[in-house]
Amino acid sequence: MFKIETAKKGGLFLAILLPLVFLICTANCHAQAEEPEKLPVPESDVVAAVNGQNITRQELSDLLIESFGDQALDVLIRRVIIYQQAGKQGIKVQPEEVEERLEKLLNDEINALIKARNLKGQDELKEELKKVDVELDDMKERMAARLRKGMEVELLAEKVVEGTVSLTEEDLKEAYEEEYGEKIEASQIVVGTKKAAEEILKKLKAGADFETLARNESIDRLSASVGGRMRPFSPGEKVFGPAAASLEKGGISDMIKTEDGYHILKVIEKRPKGAQKFEDVRPRLEKIVKERTVRKRLGPWLASLIERAKIKKYLATY
């Protein structure tokens, strides 16, 4: 900015400035020839010391901004927007709500770690962590400290969006069928062409193992990795319901064409409708539908707020 302004003001500015600089330099240049002694850094600004050399909070800040500045700034912008929106509506999150959500998340993460390492439980995980001088409780607290603020913001956003959700009887009855209605458990093999589907059907009729074919031949690799297993679905499901509903346990369908390819199903189990009455489980259904709708709307809602917000970033000139 200084160079730009100097150039704009031109010769008159230089005519005034340069003699002043000359006079100051004449009086002080000899005193400043040597590098000025550095002032001691306040202890509160020191984040580490290496062989007696301090690393300051400002150095750490500069490095973090250089490495993660844009991404971190975007996170802070989103948080401010969410806080502003919640504030306008008088929406708050209680500390116990944050801790409850945080505890669930941490337990899920720890259970996933136990499963990934083929451990039998938290006791075995504690023993594994001790080998690297880490206590499980300390690890959980460090994780919680990093996640707590984000969890609070997430809950605020969910509460704001939840206020826009209105439930219909149709939504609730659809959720009732999904949760308590009759279910079909099935596996699938998906191929790209009709000819390939015909070949699969021939192999199955000749006695080939469905699960093995699914693992080796199906182009839907997500289901193929578990032998073709699909998520349970209702007989009223529009794509696969009609074909699977007419089959007995162990029955194999004809090919079913979708935009993803040609599917062949095998019915593994048919679960009868649950005994719970609609009105008895209505509160749970309302919670399910609300949570599902909020998750669906969160992304577009926040994107819309960001698009409408007046945001100015100054990080590039930092």
For the chain, the structural domain boundaries read 1-30, 56-162, 183-271
Of 235, 236, 218, nearest to 226 by C-alpha is 218
CA distance 244 to 234: 9
The residues with which 186 forms a beta bridge, in sequence order, are: 267
130-177 per-position pLDDT tens digit: 888 888 888 888 888 888 899 999 999 999 999 999 999 999 998 898
8 A C-beta contact, residue 201 and residue 289: no
Place of tokens 């971190």: 72
CA distance 100 to 152: 11
DSSP state at residue 208: -
8 A C-beta contact, residue 114 and residue 122: yes
CA distance 101 to 144: 11
**CA quadruple 250, 252, 253, 256: dihedral sign:** positive
Of 110, 140, 138, nearest to 125 by C-alpha is 110
8 A C-beta contact, residue 223 and residue 232: no
8 A C-beta contact, residue 193 and residue 260: no
DSSP state at residue 183: E
CA distance 89 to 96: 21
Strands 53-56 and 46-50, bridge-based pairing: antiparallel
Residues in the chain: 318
- Which residues of the chain fall short of a pLDDT of 70? 1-41, 317-318
Q: At 112, list the tokens.
A: 């996933």
CATH code for the domain defined by 183-271: 3.10.50.40
